Structure 1
Amino acid sequence: MVTPFEPVVPEPRSAADRLLAVLSAFEQAHPTLALTDIARRADLTLPTAHRLVATLTSWGALERDETGRYQIGFRLWEIAALAPRGVALRQAALPFLEDLYEATHENVHLAVRDGQDVVYIERLSGRAAIGVRSQIGARWPLHATGVGLVLLAHGPHELQDRYCASELSAFTPFTLTDPARLQRTLAEVRRSGVAVSDRQITGDALSVAAPVRGPSGDVVAAVSIVVPWEGAQTPALVPAVRLAGRGISRALGWRPETRRGHGAG
Structure 2
Amino acid sequence: MNVKQQSKKDPSSAQAGVGLLHKAFEILNLFQIAHADWSQGEIIEQTGVSRSTVSRLVRYLVETGYLAEIPKTGRYTLGMAAINLGQRAEAAFDLKSFCQPALEELSALTDETILLTAFDRHAQTAVCIDQIEGERGGLRVFEKIGASFPLHAGAAPRVILAALPRKEQDVYLAKELVAYTAYTFISPDKIRDDIKQIEREGFCTSIEETYLGAAGMAACFTGPDNYPVGSIAIAFPLHNMDDIKKNNIGIKMTKIAEGLSKKLKA
- TM exceeds 0.5? yes
Shift of 1:94: 0.3
> Which residue matches 1:234?
245
Shift of 1:82: 5.7
Shift of 1:84: 3.0
Which TM-score applies when normalising by structure 2? 0.59
Shift of 1:207: 0.9
> Which residue matches 1:50?
none
Shift of 1:234: 2.5
> Which residue matches 1:177?
186
Matching of residues 152-163 of structure 1 within 5 Å: 152-163=161-172
Matching of residues 69-80 of structure 1 within 5 Å: none
Shift of 1:217: 3.4
Match of 1:93 among 99, 103, 108: 99
Alpha-carbon distance in structure 1 between the residues aligned to 2:135 and 2:250: 23
Alpha-carbon distance in structure 1 between the residues aligned to 2:128 and 2:160: 12
* Partner SS, residue 143 of structure 1: coil
Query: Is there any run of 5+ residues in structure 2 with no aligned partner, and where?
Result: 1-86
Query: Mean Cα displacement is larger for which, 133-142 or 104-113?
Result: 133-142
Amino acid corresponding to residue 199 of structure 1 in structure 2: E
Deviations 1:36-86 (A, max 9, x none): xxxxxxxxxxxxxxxxxxxxxxxxxxxxxxxxxxxxxxxxxxxxx965388
CA contact (8 A) 1:112 1:220 kept: yes
CA contact (8 A) 1:85 1:112 kept: no
Q: 1:86 to 1:116 in 2, by over 3 A?
A: farther
Deviations 1:206-226 (A, max 9, x none): 111111122343332211111
CA contact (8 A) 1:92 1:251 kept: no
Query: Greater helix share, 1 or 2?
Result: 2
Q: 1:98 to 1:87 in 2, by over 3 A?
A: farther
Match of 2:90 among 51, 68, 84: 84
Shift of 1:136: 1.9
Shift of 1:196: 0.7
Alpha-carbon distance in structure 1 between the residues aligned to 2:110 and 2:89: 30
Identity across matched positions, percent? 29
Amino acid corresponding to residue 97 of structure 2 in structure 1: Q
Alpha-carbon distance in structure 1 between the residues aligned to 2:259 and 2:176: 35
> Which residue matches 2:257?
245
The answer to whether the aligner puts 1:116 opposite 2:124 as a matched pair is yes
Shift of 1:112: 2.0
Alpha-carbon distance in structure 1 between the residues aligned to 2:207 and 2:91: 27
Q: 1:157 to 1:85 in 2, by over 3 A?
A: farther
Alpha-carbon distance in structure 1 between the residues aligned to 2:144 and 2:165: 26
Which TM-score applies when normalising by structure 1? 0.59
Shift of 1:195: 0.7
Amino acid corresponding to residue 145 of structure 1 in structure 2: G
The answer to whether the aligner puts 1:213 opposite 2:222 as a matched pair is yes
CA contact (8 A) 1:92 1:252 kept: no
Q: 1:104 to 1:133 in 2, by over 3 A?
A: closer
RMSD: 2.5
CA contact (8 A) 1:86 1:121 kept: no
Alpha-carbon distance in structure 1 between the residues aligned to 2:91 and 2:219: 17
Count of residue correspondences: 175
The answer to whether the aligner puts 1:125 opposite 2:133 as a matched pair is yes
Shift of 1:166: 1.8
Deviations 1:12-55 (A, max 9, x none): xxxxxxxxxxxxxxxxxxxxxxxxxxxxxxxxxxxxxxxxxxxx
Query: Larger Rg: 1 or 2?
Result: 2
Shift of 1:169: 1.5
The answer to whether the aligner puts 1:168 opposite 2:200 as a matched pair is no
Query: Is there any run of 5+ residues in structure 1 with no aligned partner, and where?
Result: 1-80, 255-265
